Structure 1
Protein backbone atom coordinates (compact mmCIF):
# COMPACT_ATOMS: atom_id res chain seq x y z
CA UNK A 1 0.00 0.00 0.00
CA UNK A 2 1.53 3.32 -1.10
CA UNK A 3 2.54 5.81 1.58
CA UNK A 4 0.98 8.63 -0.45
CA UNK A 5 -1.98 6.61 -1.72
CA UNK A 6 -5.61 7.33 -0.91
CA UNK A 7 -6.35 3.76 0.33
CA UNK A 8 -3.92 4.14 3.25
CA UNK A 9 -5.48 7.47 4.23
CA UNK A 10 -8.99 6.02 4.12
CA UNK A 11 -7.91 2.96 6.11
CA UNK A 12 -6.27 5.12 8.79
CA UNK A 13 -9.34 7.30 9.23
CA UNK A 14 -11.62 4.26 9.24
CA UNK A 15 -9.53 2.78 12.06
CA UNK A 16 -9.71 6.12 13.89
CA UNK A 17 -13.50 6.14 13.66
CA UNK A 18 -13.58 2.53 14.82
CA UNK A 19 -11.31 3.36 17.75
CA UNK A 20 -13.59 6.22 18.76
CA UNK A 21 -16.62 3.92 18.68
CA UNK A 22 -14.82 1.23 20.70
CA UNK A 23 -13.62 3.78 23.27
CA UNK A 24 -17.13 5.19 23.69
CA UNK A 25 -18.52 1.67 24.04
CA UNK A 26 -16.00 0.71 26.70
CA UNK A 27 -16.04 4.03 28.55
CA UNK A 28 -18.52 2.83 31.18
CA UNK A 29 -17.00 -0.54 31.86
CA UNK A 30 -17.11 -1.49 35.51
CA UNK A 31 -14.24 -2.82 37.56
CA UNK A 32 -10.52 -2.57 37.23
CA UNK A 33 -10.56 -2.46 33.41
CA UNK A 34 -12.30 0.91 33.25
CA UNK A 35 -9.23 3.17 33.46
CA UNK A 36 -6.93 1.02 31.26
CA UNK A 37 -9.61 0.89 28.53
CA UNK A 38 -10.12 4.64 28.67
CA UNK A 39 -6.40 5.42 28.57
CA UNK A 40 -5.62 2.97 25.76
CA UNK A 41 -8.65 4.14 23.79
CA UNK A 42 -7.71 7.81 24.01
CA UNK A 43 -4.08 7.13 23.07
CA UNK A 44 -5.05 5.00 20.07
CA UNK A 45 -7.61 7.54 18.84
CA UNK A 46 -5.12 10.40 19.14
CA UNK A 47 -2.39 8.44 17.38
CA UNK A 48 -4.67 7.50 14.48
CA UNK A 49 -5.98 11.05 14.05
CA UNK A 50 -2.43 12.44 13.99
CA UNK A 51 -1.35 9.72 11.56
CA UNK A 52 -4.33 10.42 9.30
CA UNK A 53 -3.62 14.14 9.22
CA UNK A 54 0.06 13.49 8.58
CA UNK A 55 -0.74 11.19 5.67
CA UNK A 56 -2.92 13.87 4.07
CA UNK A 57 -0.14 16.46 4.35
CA UNK A 58 2.42 13.98 3.05
CA UNK A 59 0.19 13.15 0.06
CA UNK A 60 0.00 16.85 -0.83
CA UNK A 61 3.68 17.74 -0.35
CA UNK A 62 5.44 14.37 -0.85
CA UNK A 63 7.82 14.74 2.08
CA UNK A 64 8.12 10.94 2.14
CA UNK A 65 7.02 9.58 -1.26
CA UNK A 66 7.64 5.94 -0.30
CA UNK A 67 8.07 3.61 2.66
CA UNK A 68 11.76 3.38 1.79
CA UNK A 69 12.13 7.15 2.09
CA UNK A 70 10.34 7.11 5.44
CA UNK A 71 12.78 4.48 6.69
CA UNK A 72 15.79 6.46 5.48
CA UNK A 73 16.73 3.97 2.77
CA UNK A 74 16.27 6.48 -0.05
CA UNK A 75 16.91 10.16 -0.63
CA UNK A 76 14.00 12.51 -0.03
CA UNK A 77 13.30 15.33 -2.44
CA UNK A 78 12.25 18.37 -0.44
CA UNK A 79 10.88 20.39 -3.38
CA UNK A 80 9.01 18.84 -6.32
CA UNK A 81 10.36 19.33 -9.80
CA UNK A 82 9.25 22.43 -11.68
CA UNK A 83 7.75 22.36 -15.15
CA UNK A 84 9.17 24.77 -17.70
CA UNK A 85 7.01 27.71 -18.72
CA UNK A 86 6.17 28.20 -22.38
CA UNK A 87 8.08 31.51 -22.45
CA UNK A 88 11.18 30.25 -20.65
CA UNK A 89 13.20 30.54 -23.85
CA UNK A 90 12.61 34.31 -24.03
CA UNK A 91 12.48 35.22 -20.33
CA UNK A 92 16.26 35.23 -20.08
CA UNK A 93 17.22 38.84 -19.35
CA UNK A 94 15.98 42.14 -17.96
CA UNK A 95 14.37 42.96 -21.32
CA UNK A 96 10.59 43.25 -21.36
CA UNK A 97 8.78 40.42 -23.15
CA UNK A 98 5.34 41.00 -24.63
CA UNK A 99 2.89 38.47 -23.24
CA UNK A 100 -0.02 37.66 -25.52
CA UNK A 101 -2.03 34.71 -24.18
CA UNK A 102 -5.25 33.94 -26.10
CA UNK A 103 -7.31 34.97 -23.08
CA UNK A 104 -5.88 38.51 -23.04
CA UNK A 105 -8.61 39.87 -25.32
CA UNK A 106 -11.16 39.34 -22.54
CA UNK A 107 -9.07 41.34 -20.07
CA UNK A 108 -9.82 44.64 -21.90
CA UNK A 109 -6.32 46.07 -21.51
CA UNK A 110 -5.00 49.17 -23.22
CA UNK A 111 -1.86 47.32 -24.35
CA UNK A 112 -0.40 43.85 -24.30
CA UNK A 113 0.99 42.80 -20.90
CA UNK A 114 4.74 42.96 -20.43
CA UNK A 115 6.90 40.50 -18.47
CA UNK A 116 10.35 41.09 -17.04
CA UNK A 117 12.15 38.14 -15.50
CA UNK A 118 14.77 38.43 -12.75
CA UNK A 119 18.38 38.14 -13.81
CA UNK A 120 18.74 34.55 -12.57
CA UNK A 121 15.55 33.23 -14.20
CA UNK A 122 17.26 31.39 -17.05
CA UNK A 123 20.12 30.15 -14.88
CA UNK A 124 17.80 28.50 -12.30
CA UNK A 125 15.35 26.31 -14.24
CA UNK A 126 14.30 24.43 -11.08
CA UNK A 127 13.04 27.56 -9.33
CA UNK A 128 9.66 29.23 -9.27
CA UNK A 129 9.32 32.94 -8.58
CA UNK A 130 6.79 35.18 -6.87
CA UNK A 131 5.16 37.96 -8.88
CA UNK A 132 5.15 41.74 -8.74
CA UNK A 133 2.03 42.84 -10.61
CA UNK A 134 2.08 46.43 -11.84
CA UNK A 135 -1.25 48.08 -12.69
CA UNK A 136 -0.39 51.26 -14.55
CA UNK A 137 -1.67 53.60 -17.22
CA UNK A 138 1.15 52.56 -19.55
CA UNK A 139 3.32 49.50 -20.01
CA UNK A 140 6.17 51.41 -21.59
CA UNK A 141 9.56 49.99 -20.63
CA UNK A 142 10.41 53.13 -18.67
CA UNK A 143 7.55 52.40 -16.30
CA UNK A 144 8.63 48.82 -15.55
CA UNK A 145 11.61 47.77 -13.48
CA UNK A 146 13.16 44.34 -13.04
CA UNK A 147 12.86 43.03 -9.50
CA UNK A 148 15.36 40.78 -7.78
CA UNK A 149 13.91 37.34 -7.12
CA UNK A 150 10.51 38.06 -8.71
CA UNK A 151 8.83 38.15 -12.10
CA UNK A 152 7.43 41.59 -12.93
CA UNK A 153 4.11 41.69 -14.81
CA UNK A 154 2.88 45.05 -16.13
CA UNK A 155 -0.77 45.54 -17.07
CA UNK A 156 -2.43 48.65 -18.48
CA UNK A 157 -6.11 48.33 -17.50
CA UNK A 158 -8.98 50.32 -18.99
CA UNK A 159 -12.37 51.33 -17.65
CA UNK A 160 -13.70 47.99 -18.91
CA UNK A 161 -11.12 45.92 -17.00
CA UNK A 162 -12.60 44.18 -13.97
CA UNK A 163 -11.32 41.79 -11.32
CA UNK A 164 -13.70 39.15 -12.70
CA UNK A 165 -12.23 39.56 -16.18
CA UNK A 166 -8.72 39.05 -14.78
CA UNK A 167 -9.66 36.04 -12.67
CA UNK A 168 -7.82 33.62 -14.97
CA UNK A 169 -4.65 35.73 -15.24
CA UNK A 170 -2.68 33.90 -12.55
CA UNK A 171 -3.46 30.52 -14.10
CA UNK A 172 -2.43 31.68 -17.55
CA UNK A 173 0.76 33.18 -16.19
CA UNK A 174 1.68 29.93 -14.42
CA UNK A 175 1.31 28.15 -17.75
CA UNK A 176 3.75 30.47 -19.52
CA UNK A 177 6.28 31.25 -16.76
CA UNK A 178 7.68 29.60 -13.63
CA UNK A 179 5.78 31.51 -10.97
CA UNK A 180 4.20 30.88 -7.59
CA UNK A 181 0.80 32.17 -6.46
CA UNK A 182 2.41 34.76 -4.15
CA UNK A 183 2.33 38.34 -5.38
CA UNK A 184 2.43 42.01 -4.47
CA UNK A 185 0.50 44.58 -6.51
CA UNK A 186 1.85 48.02 -7.41
CA UNK A 187 -1.04 50.21 -8.52
CA UNK A 188 -1.40 53.70 -9.96
CA UNK A 189 -4.07 55.79 -8.27
CA UNK A 190 -6.82 55.05 -10.84
CA UNK A 191 -6.38 51.32 -10.37
CA UNK A 192 -6.29 51.16 -6.56
CA UNK A 193 -9.84 49.82 -6.39
CA UNK A 194 -9.00 47.13 -8.97
CA UNK A 195 -6.01 46.07 -6.88
CA UNK A 196 -8.03 46.11 -3.65
CA UNK A 197 -10.51 43.60 -5.07
CA UNK A 198 -7.87 41.13 -6.25
CA UNK A 199 -8.55 37.51 -5.21
CA UNK A 200 -6.68 36.54 -2.06
CA UNK A 201 -6.21 40.17 -1.01
CA UNK A 202 -2.45 40.40 -1.75
CA UNK A 203 -0.45 43.37 -0.43
CA UNK A 204 -1.04 46.54 -2.46
CA UNK A 205 1.46 49.39 -2.79
CA UNK A 206 0.37 52.72 -4.28
CA UNK A 207 2.67 53.78 -7.10
CA UNK A 208 5.57 52.13 -8.87
CA UNK A 209 8.66 54.19 -8.19
CA UNK A 210 12.04 52.56 -7.63
CA UNK A 211 11.40 52.73 -3.88
CA UNK A 212 8.04 51.01 -4.35
CA UNK A 213 9.70 48.16 -6.26
CA UNK A 214 12.28 47.78 -3.51
CA UNK A 215 9.54 47.64 -0.89
CA UNK A 216 7.58 45.07 -2.91
CA UNK A 217 10.70 42.94 -3.28
CA UNK A 218 11.24 42.99 0.48
CA UNK A 219 7.63 41.91 1.06
CA UNK A 220 7.87 38.94 -1.29
CA UNK A 221 9.10 35.49 -0.24
CA UNK A 222 12.39 34.29 -1.67
CA UNK A 223 12.16 32.05 -4.77
CA UNK A 224 11.98 28.36 -4.06
CA UNK A 225 15.33 26.66 -3.96
CA UNK A 226 16.25 23.93 -6.37
CA UNK A 227 15.41 20.39 -5.25
CA UNK A 228 17.75 19.15 -2.56
CA UNK A 229 18.33 15.63 -1.32
CA UNK A 230 18.51 14.78 2.34
CA UNK A 231 21.24 12.33 3.33
CA UNK A 232 20.05 8.76 3.57
Structure 2
Protein backbone atom coordinates (compact mmCIF):
# COMPACT_ATOMS: atom_id res chain seq x y z
CA UNK A 1 0.00 0.00 0.00
CA UNK A 2 1.60 3.25 -1.14
CA UNK A 3 2.26 6.00 1.38
CA UNK A 4 0.63 8.60 -0.86
CA UNK A 5 -2.20 6.37 -2.05
CA UNK A 6 -5.89 6.96 -1.48
CA UNK A 7 -6.44 3.44 -0.02
CA UNK A 8 -4.16 4.14 2.94
CA UNK A 9 -5.82 7.48 3.63
CA UNK A 10 -9.29 5.92 3.49
CA UNK A 11 -8.19 3.10 5.79
CA UNK A 12 -6.91 5.50 8.46
CA UNK A 13 -9.90 7.84 8.11
CA UNK A 14 -12.33 4.93 8.40
CA UNK A 15 -10.49 3.66 11.45
CA UNK A 16 -10.81 7.11 13.04
CA UNK A 17 -14.56 7.21 12.40
CA UNK A 18 -15.01 3.66 13.67
CA UNK A 19 -13.03 4.38 16.81
CA UNK A 20 -15.11 7.49 17.44
CA UNK A 21 -18.32 5.45 17.14
CA UNK A 22 -17.00 2.79 19.52
CA UNK A 23 -15.94 5.48 22.00
CA UNK A 24 -19.42 7.02 21.96
CA UNK A 25 -21.01 3.65 22.64
CA UNK A 26 -18.75 3.02 25.63
CA UNK A 27 -18.68 6.61 26.85
CA UNK A 28 -19.89 5.76 30.37
CA UNK A 29 -16.86 3.56 30.97
CA UNK A 30 -13.89 5.76 31.88
CA UNK A 31 -11.13 3.50 30.49
CA UNK A 32 -12.96 3.20 27.17
CA UNK A 33 -13.50 6.95 27.05
CA UNK A 34 -9.82 7.76 27.68
CA UNK A 35 -8.46 5.13 25.31
CA UNK A 36 -11.02 5.99 22.64
CA UNK A 37 -10.33 9.72 22.69
CA UNK A 38 -6.60 9.11 22.53
CA UNK A 39 -6.96 6.70 19.61
CA UNK A 40 -9.29 9.06 17.74
CA UNK A 41 -6.83 11.94 18.09
CA UNK A 42 -3.94 9.81 16.85
CA UNK A 43 -5.90 8.48 13.87
CA UNK A 44 -7.27 11.93 13.00
CA UNK A 45 -3.79 13.45 13.03
CA UNK A 46 -2.50 10.54 10.95
CA UNK A 47 -5.28 10.99 8.39
CA UNK A 48 -4.60 14.72 8.11
CA UNK A 49 -0.88 14.06 7.81
CA UNK A 50 -1.42 11.51 5.06
CA UNK A 51 -3.59 13.92 3.10
CA UNK A 52 -1.08 16.77 3.42
CA UNK A 53 1.77 14.45 2.46
CA UNK A 54 -0.21 13.26 -0.56
CA UNK A 55 -0.66 16.86 -1.70
CA UNK A 56 2.85 18.14 -0.97
CA UNK A 57 4.88 14.94 -1.55
CA UNK A 58 7.12 15.43 1.48
CA UNK A 59 7.60 11.65 1.72
CA UNK A 60 6.60 10.02 -1.57
CA UNK A 61 7.60 6.49 -0.49
CA UNK A 62 7.89 4.41 2.67
CA UNK A 63 11.65 4.32 2.11
CA UNK A 64 11.92 8.11 2.21
CA UNK A 65 9.84 8.17 5.41
CA UNK A 66 11.97 5.59 7.19
CA UNK A 67 15.25 6.93 5.84
CA UNK A 68 16.10 3.76 3.96
CA UNK A 69 18.21 4.71 0.96
CA UNK A 70 18.29 3.15 -2.47
CA UNK A 71 21.51 2.68 -4.36
CA UNK A 72 21.35 4.19 -7.82
CA UNK A 73 22.48 1.95 -10.65
CA UNK A 74 24.53 3.69 -13.31
CA UNK A 75 23.72 2.84 -16.90
CA UNK A 76 27.02 2.11 -18.62
CA UNK A 77 27.90 4.33 -21.57
CA UNK A 78 28.53 2.21 -24.64
CA UNK A 79 31.89 2.75 -26.30
CA UNK A 80 31.97 3.83 -29.93
CA UNK A 81 33.56 1.59 -32.53
CA UNK A 82 36.16 4.26 -33.34
CA UNK A 83 36.94 5.24 -29.75
CA UNK A 84 40.54 3.88 -29.84
CA UNK A 85 41.32 5.96 -32.94
CA UNK A 86 39.51 9.04 -31.68
CA UNK A 87 41.77 9.14 -28.64
CA UNK A 88 44.56 10.43 -30.86
CA UNK A 89 45.26 14.05 -31.66
CA UNK A 90 44.39 13.95 -35.36
CA UNK A 91 41.18 13.82 -37.32
CA UNK A 92 39.88 10.39 -38.29
CA UNK A 93 38.90 9.76 -41.90
CA UNK A 94 35.39 8.50 -41.27
CA UNK A 95 33.86 5.98 -43.67
CA UNK A 96 30.36 5.03 -42.53
CA UNK A 97 28.21 3.02 -44.90
CA UNK A 98 25.69 5.87 -45.01
CA UNK A 99 28.23 8.27 -46.53
CA UNK A 100 27.60 6.96 -50.05
CA UNK A 101 24.15 8.54 -49.98
CA UNK A 102 25.49 11.89 -48.81
CA UNK A 103 27.34 12.56 -52.10
CA UNK A 104 30.27 14.34 -50.51
CA UNK A 105 33.30 15.69 -52.32
CA UNK A 106 35.60 13.70 -50.02
CA UNK A 107 35.26 11.36 -47.03
CA UNK A 108 34.02 13.06 -43.87
CA UNK A 109 36.33 13.73 -40.95
CA UNK A 110 35.50 12.85 -37.35
CA UNK A 111 37.26 14.73 -34.56
CA UNK A 112 36.95 14.08 -30.84
CA UNK A 113 37.53 16.73 -28.17
CA UNK A 114 40.94 16.71 -26.45
CA UNK A 115 39.57 15.08 -23.29
CA UNK A 116 37.48 12.43 -25.08
CA UNK A 117 39.56 9.46 -23.89
CA UNK A 118 39.67 10.80 -20.33
CA UNK A 119 35.87 10.75 -20.00
CA UNK A 120 34.74 7.27 -21.07
CA UNK A 121 31.47 7.66 -19.18
CA UNK A 122 30.41 10.77 -21.15
CA UNK A 123 28.50 11.32 -24.35
CA UNK A 124 29.28 14.46 -26.33
CA UNK A 125 27.05 16.79 -28.34
CA UNK A 126 27.63 16.80 -32.07
CA UNK A 127 28.95 19.70 -34.13
CA UNK A 128 28.69 19.37 -37.91
CA UNK A 129 30.86 21.66 -40.03
CA UNK A 130 29.83 22.03 -43.66
CA UNK A 131 32.86 22.98 -45.70
CA UNK A 132 36.57 22.88 -44.94
CA UNK A 133 38.32 21.35 -41.95
CA UNK A 134 38.52 24.08 -39.29
CA UNK A 135 41.80 22.62 -38.06
CA UNK A 136 40.71 22.73 -34.42
CA UNK A 137 39.20 20.29 -31.94
CA UNK A 138 36.60 22.25 -29.98
CA UNK A 139 36.38 21.20 -26.36
CA UNK A 140 33.31 19.33 -25.18
CA UNK A 141 31.93 18.33 -28.59
CA UNK A 142 32.38 15.72 -31.29
CA UNK A 143 33.03 17.40 -34.63
CA UNK A 144 32.13 16.04 -38.06
CA UNK A 145 33.48 17.86 -41.11
CA UNK A 146 31.50 17.36 -44.32
CA UNK A 147 32.36 18.58 -47.81
CA UNK A 148 28.95 18.76 -49.53
CA UNK A 149 28.32 18.89 -53.25
CA UNK A 150 25.32 20.02 -55.25
CA UNK A 151 24.03 16.45 -55.04
CA UNK A 152 24.03 16.48 -51.23
CA UNK A 153 20.55 16.79 -49.75
CA UNK A 154 19.44 17.58 -46.22
CA UNK A 155 17.17 14.54 -46.22
CA UNK A 156 20.07 12.19 -46.90
CA UNK A 157 22.09 13.76 -44.09
CA UNK A 158 19.34 12.76 -41.68
CA UNK A 159 21.16 9.44 -41.19
CA UNK A 160 24.33 11.11 -39.96
CA UNK A 161 23.35 11.35 -36.30
CA UNK A 162 22.73 7.60 -35.99
CA UNK A 163 25.94 6.82 -37.87
CA UNK A 164 27.99 8.94 -35.48
CA UNK A 165 26.29 7.37 -32.45
CA UNK A 166 27.39 3.97 -33.69
CA UNK A 167 31.04 4.95 -34.06
CA UNK A 168 31.50 7.44 -31.21
CA UNK A 169 29.95 8.43 -27.91
CA UNK A 170 27.62 11.13 -29.19
CA UNK A 171 24.67 12.72 -27.41
CA UNK A 172 21.42 13.86 -29.01
CA UNK A 173 22.30 17.56 -29.15
CA UNK A 174 23.35 18.79 -32.59
CA UNK A 175 24.45 22.08 -34.13
CA UNK A 176 25.54 22.88 -37.69
CA UNK A 177 28.18 25.38 -38.82
CA UNK A 178 27.77 26.63 -42.37
CA UNK A 179 28.88 29.59 -44.42
CA UNK A 180 26.71 31.35 -46.99
CA UNK A 181 27.30 28.67 -49.61
CA UNK A 182 25.82 25.85 -47.54
CA UNK A 183 23.47 27.78 -45.28
CA UNK A 184 20.36 26.62 -47.15
CA UNK A 185 21.46 23.00 -46.78
CA UNK A 186 22.01 23.48 -43.04
CA UNK A 187 18.67 25.23 -42.60
CA UNK A 188 16.86 22.29 -44.19
CA UNK A 189 18.56 19.71 -41.96
CA UNK A 190 16.05 17.20 -40.52
CA UNK A 191 14.95 18.23 -37.05
CA UNK A 192 16.05 21.83 -37.70
CA UNK A 193 19.08 22.00 -35.38
CA UNK A 194 20.72 25.30 -34.52
CA UNK A 195 22.72 26.76 -37.42
CA UNK A 196 25.67 29.08 -36.82
CA UNK A 197 28.25 30.77 -39.01
CA UNK A 198 31.13 30.22 -36.58
CA UNK A 199 32.35 27.33 -34.46
CA UNK A 200 32.57 29.31 -31.21
CA UNK A 201 28.99 30.48 -31.61
CA UNK A 202 27.75 26.94 -32.27
CA UNK A 203 29.64 25.41 -29.35
CA UNK A 204 28.25 27.99 -26.93
CA UNK A 205 24.74 26.87 -27.83
CA UNK A 206 25.40 23.19 -27.14
CA UNK A 207 25.06 21.52 -23.72
CA UNK A 208 27.97 20.08 -21.78
CA UNK A 209 28.92 16.41 -22.20
CA UNK A 210 26.49 14.13 -20.39
CA UNK A 211 27.36 11.50 -17.82
CA UNK A 212 25.70 8.10 -17.96
CA UNK A 213 22.15 8.32 -16.57
CA UNK A 214 21.31 6.86 -13.19
CA UNK A 215 18.23 4.84 -12.34
CA UNK A 216 16.81 3.59 -9.08
CA UNK A 217 16.07 -0.11 -8.86
CA UNK A 218 12.37 -0.90 -9.06
Residue 80 of structure 1 is aligned with which of 72, 75, 79?
A: 75
Q: Distance in 2 between matches of 1:131 and 1:121?
A: 13
SS at match of 2:122: coil
- Counterpart of 1:172? 163
Whether the aligned pair in 2 keeps the contact of 1:163 and 1:194 (CA below 8 Å) is yes
What is the Cα deviation at residue 228 of structure 1? 6.9
Displacement after TM superposition at 1:226 (Å)? 5.2
Q: Give me the TM-score of the superposition, normalised by structure 1.
A: 0.61
TM-score by length of 2: 0.65
Distance 1:114 1:76, change over 3 A: same
Cα distance between partner residues in 2 of 1:120 and 1:91: 10
Aligned to 1:123: 118
Unmatched 5+ stretches in structure 1: 1-43, 48-66, 207-211
- State whether residues 91 and 97 of structure 1, in contact with CA within 8 Å, keep that contact through their aligned partners in structure 2: yes
Contact 2:155 2:190 survives alignment (8 Å):
no
The answer (yes or no) to whether the contact 1:126–1:227 under 8 Å persists in 2 is no
> Would the alpha carbon gap of residues 69 and 91 (structure 1) be closer, same or farther in structure 2, given more than 3 Å must change?
farther
1:220 pairs with 2:211: no
Partner residue in 2 for 1:198: 189
Q: CA deviation at 1:68?
A: 8.0
Largest Rg, 1 or 2: 2
CA distance in 2, matches of 1:102, 1:69: 50
Q: How big is the shift at 1:94?
A: 3.3
> Cα distance, 1:153 vs. partner?
0.6
CA distance in 2, matches of 1:69, 1:160: 59
Does 2:148 align with 1:157? yes
How far apart, CA to CA, are the structure 2 residues paired with 1:89 and 1:221?
24
2:97 maps to which residue? Answer: 102
Structure 2 unaligned residues grouped into runs of 5+: 1-50, 55-61
Asked if residue 148 in structure 1 is aligned to residue 139 in structure 2, the reply is yes
| Cα distance in 1 for residues equivalent to 2:95 and 2:64 | 43
How far apart are residue 80 of structure 1 and its match?
2.7
Q: How many residues align?
A: 162
- Please identify, of 215-224 and 169-178, the stretch whose mean Cα deviation from structure 2 is larger: 215-224
CA contact (8 A) 2:175 2:206 kept: yes
Structure holding more strand per residue: 2
